[in-house]
């Protein structure tokens, strides 16, 4: 006889979410519940406030009262996002190598990276509980974009890591499913080949810590597109990876890197016909390195713009505590 599928204990899953918030911040769990359960309604309202061309996600209907509560939370996020001191939803670009390290973790751990790594005052802990539990789900930004860059069938690009968020998402949000760490690595590889930028997200409503790796585009994504409001790598919602391109003598000035760079951080100098990097703008996303036909670009560490989110290095280093 076929085994009965295991019944989900929703009560336990909800309590898990509540328990993830520290005693003084238990009230944030309500925002967390609404955010994770109605993430597309949240994204729709957030991107609308930002003036983006969005459409209401009719696949995730909410009643009027819930919609009002989501809007209150969106307003709070927007207000707080104007400064690195108060921001509660932000991300850091990570090279694919560093994204792989995050999805390959097997141990529970607690790291508090310095502000050189995550340059925000609040919400910058990495607290892994059961990191092999990974969920992939529909991208919030593309899922509400009026003209998304990829169709809904290819929008499974948000990768959530660890408990309690994974259990909550897969049980209460029909657009998320569990994947194995091996599948997660394959999804990351494909996303990289498609030219998407990997961002490690830190969000207060997602238990006030690192919660997911997003595979972002430069057209629909709230973080990459908002970068242009500030126009530099010193901004309150998106931190640079800590790497910058080094251009070798092999460069012939073809300009492919400049065309690929969304952040206007690399250009070809007219006199020398060589690519030059603007360190104040470069986000270290590696798109130019991938695009260079002559292999003339190699990424290097640039301490003046911060340190990378390299979880293995953090585990060995001074910032981490288990
Ligand atoms: S941040 Fe990137 S992957 Fe995440 S929801 Fe937005 S576009 Fe999608
Ligand atoms: S793509 Fe490569 S060869 Fe072309 S300008 Fe950029 S660095 Fe030089
Ligand atoms: S210069 Fe290269 S690494 Fe820097 S932001 Fe532009 S594409 Fe990304």
Residue 308 pLDDT more than 90? yes
Mean pLDDT lowest for which of 208-217, 244-253, 280-289, 313-322?
A: 313-322
H or E element that contains 210 = strand 209-216
Among 27-31, 45-49, 272-276, 294-298, the least confident range: 27-31
Co-location of 188 and 144 in the same domain: yes
**How many distinct helices (H) and strands (E) make up the chain?**
12, 13
Compute the distance between CA of residue 106 and CA of residue 128 in angstroms, rounded to an integer: 9
Ligand 1 contact, 223 CB (< 6 A): yes
Q: Are residues 128 and 263 in the same domain?
A: no
User: Are 301 and 312 members of one domain?
Assistant: no
| Ligand 2 and 296: CB distance under 6 A | yes
- CA-CA distance, 315 to 126, in Å (whole number)? 11
Write down the pLDDT at residue 321: 39
> Does residue 227 sit within a domain?
yes
Structural domain includes residue 321: no
Asked if 257 and 177 sit in the same domain, the reply is no
With respect to residue 5, please indicate whether it lies within any of the assigned structural domains.
Answer: no
186 part of a folded domain: yes
157 shares a domain with 94: yes
Higher pLDDT, 94 or 229: 94
- Which ligand lies nearest to the CA atom of residue 255 in the structure? 2
Give the pLDDT band of residue 320 (cuts 50, 70, 90).
very low
> Is the pLDDT confidence value at 322 over 60?
no
**pLDDT higher than threshold 80 for residue 230:** yes
Does the pLDDT value for residue 318 go beyond 70?
Answer: no
How much distance in Å is there from the Cα of 256 to the middle of ligand 2?
A: 6
Question: How many domains, in total, are found in the chain?
Answer: 2
Q: How far apart are CA 193 and CA 95, in angstroms?
A: 13
**Nearest ligand 1 atom, CA 201:** 1
Q: Are 70 and 43 in contact (CB under 8 A)?
A: no
Any ligand 2 atom below 6 A from CB of 254: yes
Nearest ligand for residue 288 CA: 3
d(CA 223, CA 198): 11
Tell whether 146 and 18 lie within a shared domain.
Answer: yes
- Whether the CB-CB separation of 141 and 158 falls below 8 Å is answered with no
- C-alpha 131 – ligand 3 centre gap (Å): 30
CATH number, domain of 276, equals 3.30.70.20
238 lines ligand 1 (CB under 6 A): no
Q: Does residue 111 form part of some domain?
A: yes
Which ligand 1 atom sits closest to the C-alpha of 217?
Answer: 7
pLDDT tens-digit readout, 2-51 = 666 566 788 899 899 889 888 888 888 999 999 999 999 999 999 999 99
Starting from the CA of residue 296, give the closest ligand. Answer: 2
Does 292 sit in the ligand 3 pocket, CB within 6 Å?
A: no
In order, the DSSP letters of 99-159 are HHHHHT--S-EEE---TTTS--SSS--EEESSTT-EEEEE-HHHHHBSS-SS-GGG-EEEE
Indicate the pLDDT class of residue 109, thresholds 50, 70 and 90.
Answer: very high
Whose C-alpha lies nearest to ligand 1, atom 4? 214
State the pLDDT at residue 3: 64
Mean pLDDT of 141-156: 97
CA distance 193 to 180: 20
* 98 and 14 within one domain: yes
**Is residue 288 assigned to a domain?**
yes
> Within this chain, do residues 275 and 203 fall inside the same structural domain, yes or no?
no
Residue 70 counted as domain residue: yes
Determine the structural domain holding residue 88 and report its residue range: 10-237+308-316
How far apart are the CA of 240 and the centre of ligand 3, in A? 10
Residues 57 and 108 in one domain: yes
182 and 199 share a domain?
A: yes
pLDDT higher than threshold 50 for residue 76: yes
Give per-residue pLDDT as tens, 186-206: 999 999 999 999 999 999 999
Instruction: Indicate the average pLDDT of the chain.
Output: 93
Laid out side by side, the sheet with 156-161 consists of 176-179, 134-138, 156-161, 209-216, 197-203, 89-93, 238-239
Ligand 2 pocket: which of 245, 246, 249, 255 to mutate (most atoms within 8 A of CB): 255
- Mean pLDDT within 125-138: 96
- Predicted local confidence at residue 5, as pLDDT: 58
Q: Are 44 and 56 in contact (CB under 8 A)?
A: yes
Residue 28: predicted pLDDT: 87
Q: Which of 226-235, 241-250, 253-262 has the lowest mean pLDDT?
A: 226-235
- In the block, tokens 């590889």 appear at 189
Indicate if 89 and 178 belong to the same structural domain: yes
Question: Is 1 part of a structural domain of the chain?
Answer: no
Contact 226, 232 (CB under 8 A): no
**Residue 270 and residue 321: Cα distance in Å, rounded?**
49
Of 25-29, 104-108, 141-145, 287-291, give the lowest mean pLDDT range.
25-29
């Amino acid at each position: 006889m076929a085994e009965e599928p295991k019944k989900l204990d929703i009560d336990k899953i909800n309590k898990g979410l509540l328990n993830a918030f520290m005693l003084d911040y238990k009230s944030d769990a309500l925002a967390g519940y609404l955010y994770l359960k109605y993430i597309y309604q949240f994204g729709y309202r957030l991107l609308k406030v930002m003036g983006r061309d969005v459409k209401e996600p009719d696949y995730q209907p909410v009643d009027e009262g819930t919609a009002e509560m989501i809007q209150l939370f969106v307003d709070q996020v927007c207000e707080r996002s104007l400064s690195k001191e108060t921001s509660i939803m932000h991300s850091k670009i990570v090279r694919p190598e560093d994204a792989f390290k995050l999805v390959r973790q097997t141990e529970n751990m607690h790291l508090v990276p310095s502000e050189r790594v995550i340059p925000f005052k609040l919400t910058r802990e990495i607290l892994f509980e059961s990191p092999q539990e990974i969920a992939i789900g529909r991208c919030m930004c593309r899922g509400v974009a009026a003209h998304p860059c990829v169709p809904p069938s290819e929008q499974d690009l948000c990768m959530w890591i660890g408990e309690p968020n994974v259990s909550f998402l897969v049980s209460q949000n029909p657009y998320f499913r569990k994947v194995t760490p091996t599948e997660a690595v394959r999804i990351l590889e494909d996303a990289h080949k498609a030219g998407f930028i990997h961002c490690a997200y830190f969000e207060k409503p997602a238990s006030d810590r690192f919660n997911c790796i997003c595979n972002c585009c430069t057209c629909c994504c709230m973080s990459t597109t908002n970068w242009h409001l500030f126009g530099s790598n010193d901004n309150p919602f998106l931190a640079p990876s800590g790497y910058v391109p080094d251009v070798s003598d092999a460069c012939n000035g073809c300009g492919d890197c400049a065309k690929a760079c969304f952040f206007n951080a690399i250009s070809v100098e007219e006199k020398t016909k060589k690519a030059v990097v603007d360190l104040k703008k470069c986000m270290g996303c590696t798109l130019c390195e991938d695009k260079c036909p002559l292999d003339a670009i190699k990424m290097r560490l640039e301490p003046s713009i911060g340190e990378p989110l390299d979880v293995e290095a953090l585990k060995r280093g001074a910032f981490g505590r288990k």
